């Protein structure tokens, strides 16, 4: 019976020893994988103390559209053939023709009649326009607007120059954000060649 106990204990001890050896062997293979990863630049990570942060500032021109308006007084007159001016032009032409008929004899009278009608029509048209501007006060205020661009300058931060310290040495890097009091760094240890 003692012999059976001794053999059972020996079997349990051997099983425990082999399990420990296998576990230790696996740990060694993980170490090998980590070392291989370090050689490919994956490394371990730590934090380094930030000792200085300097923002990188740039001036940017910003163009903003601005609508500018002003009032303008416009004198409006009708065209030369509007109904308001045709009557005055015809009346002036008729009076001019009658006056021209009083001048000259024969063909000279015909020419004077035509000239009188033309001159009388022009005078009647001008009188009608002058009376329209004075009597009717045909003025109106029109708002005129233009779009112009107003330039201004804005200061923008394009990134940060960061100084950090690790293992007694200072390093510099440029980052798109302010890292705060510490920055995460990658530690990569590789063996020296012989």
Helix axes 83-101, 107-135, angle to 10 degrees: 150
The C-alpha atoms of residue 4 and residue 15 are separated, in whole angstroms, by 17
Band the pLDDT of 81: cuts 50, 70, 90.
low
Q: Can you give the pLDDT at residue 40? A: 47
pLDDT 10s digits, 18-66? 655 555 444 433 333 344 444 444 568 999 999 999 999 999 998 899 9
Helix (H/G/I), strand (E/B), else coil: 100? helix
Supply the DSSP string of 104-167, one letter for each residue.
-STHHHHHHHHHHHHHHHHHHHHHHHHHHHHHS--EEEEEEEEEEEEEEEEEEEEEEEEEEEET
The arithmetic mean of pLDDT across residues 111-140, rounded, is 70
Helix (H/G/I), strand (E/B), else coil: 2? helix
Q: Between residues 193 and 152, which one has the greater pLDDT? A: 152
Q: Can you give the pLDDT at residue 76? A: 64
pLDDT 10s digits, 134-178? 555 567 788 889 999 999 999 999 999 999 999 999 999 999 999
Q: Can you give the pLDDT at residue 26? A: 43
**133 pLDDT exceeds 80?**
no
Supply the DSSP string of 156-182, one letter for each residue.
EEEEEEEEEEETTEEEEEEESS--TTE
């Amino acid at each position: 019976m003692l012999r059976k106990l001794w053999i059972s204990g020996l079997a349990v001890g051997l099983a425990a020893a082999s399990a420990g050896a296998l576990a230790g062997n696996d740990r060694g293979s993980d170490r090998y994988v980590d070392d291989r990863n370090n050689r490919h630049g994956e490394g371990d990570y730590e934090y380094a103390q930030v000792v200085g942060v300097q923002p990188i500032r740039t001036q940017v021109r910003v163009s903003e559209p601005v609508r500018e308006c002003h009032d303008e007084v416009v004198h409006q007159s009708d065209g030369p053939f509007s109904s308001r001016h045709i009557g005055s032009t015809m009346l002036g032409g008729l009076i001019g023709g009658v006056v021209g008929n009083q001048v000259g004899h024969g063909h000279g009278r015909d020419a004077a009649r035509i000239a009188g009608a033309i001159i009388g029509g022009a005078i009647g048209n001008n009188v009608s326009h002058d009376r329209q501007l004075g009597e009717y006060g045909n003025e109106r205020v029109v708002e005129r607007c233009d779009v112009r661009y107003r330039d201004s300058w804005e200061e923008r931060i394009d990134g940060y120059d960061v100084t950090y310290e690790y293992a007694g040495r200072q390093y510099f890097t440029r980052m798109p954000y302010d890292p705060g009091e510490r920055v995460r760094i990658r530690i990569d240890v590789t063996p020296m060649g012989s």
